Amino acid sequence: MKAHQPRRGVRWVPWLVVLTLILSSLKIIEDVVGRESGPFDETLLWFVRAQVPSTWTGFFAAATLSGSAAFLTSATAVAALVLCIARRRSEALLLAASSISAALFVYVLKVLVGRECPALWDTQWYWGSSFPSGHTLSTAAFATAAALCIARIWPRWATPATALALVWSLTVALSRLVLGVHWPTDVLVALCIGVLIPLLVSAAQNMAAALARPRVGAAPL
């Protein structure tokens, strides 16, 4: 009896996701640099402020802290160390590389774009330009990488881990809007890039593993 083989169409799904994220990110960056998304950003930001009760501000402030550099750096270091001790070095590398790459992307894009933060109402001041949202991008990268690690180690938990990663990333993204410290396009492109980075790192690892794997029937050197 032949083992079940995944349908070819399913194999293309991750690459379609990657392509969509790349194109979405490039389009939003183009709009931001060309100053074409101002009215959309302002309207949507006011809409979010009107819909979210002020009593939820404390919750979203806590969500923002979960996406801070201090928390995510500590979480990455601890998780990578645990994975190394468990001899899951590939997963540790995936998590560390994703988080470090995310931090580099945030820094480079903030320097290159230099977008002003929203000033529609009184908010807490944050370092750097508004684009992209560092909290959102870093959270999405860490959460996605963690979900990929869990899917490798415990495949049965892949779906719950992915769902949890998505909820966490979206909550942090929304918190930046509720607090009024980022434009909607800041968090949209941050989500796209944050999810994209671990997917590319994982794909690179899979390709490297495939190239290193000896071919069946190949003559020894």
142, 95 contact by CB (below 8 A): yes
The residue assigned the tokens 């379609």 is: 16
How many separate helices (H) and strands (E) can be counted in the chain? Answer: 9, 0
* Weakly modelled stretches of the chain, pLDDT under 50: 1-10
Euclidean distance between CA atoms 12 and 156, whole angstroms: 21
pLDDT recorded at residue 213: 75
pLDDT recorded at residue 41: 80
Position 61: which residue type?
A
Task: Give 146-152 contacts, CB < 8 A, sequence gap 24+.
Answer: 146/79, 146/95, 148/91, 148/94, 148/198, 148/199, 148/202, 149/83, 149/88, 149/91, 149/94, 149/95, 152/88, 152/90, 152/91
pLDDT recorded at residue 96: 97
pLDDT tens column, 119-172 = 766 666 565 678 899 999 999 999 999 999 999 999 999 999 999 999 999 999
Q: Could you count the other beta carbons within 10 Å of the beta carbon of residue 209?
A: 10
pTM metric for this prediction: 0.83
Q: Tell me 26's DSSP state.
A: H
pLDDT recorded at residue 26: 61
pLDDT recorded at residue 43: 85
Query: Hey, what are 6's tokens?
Result: 């995944």
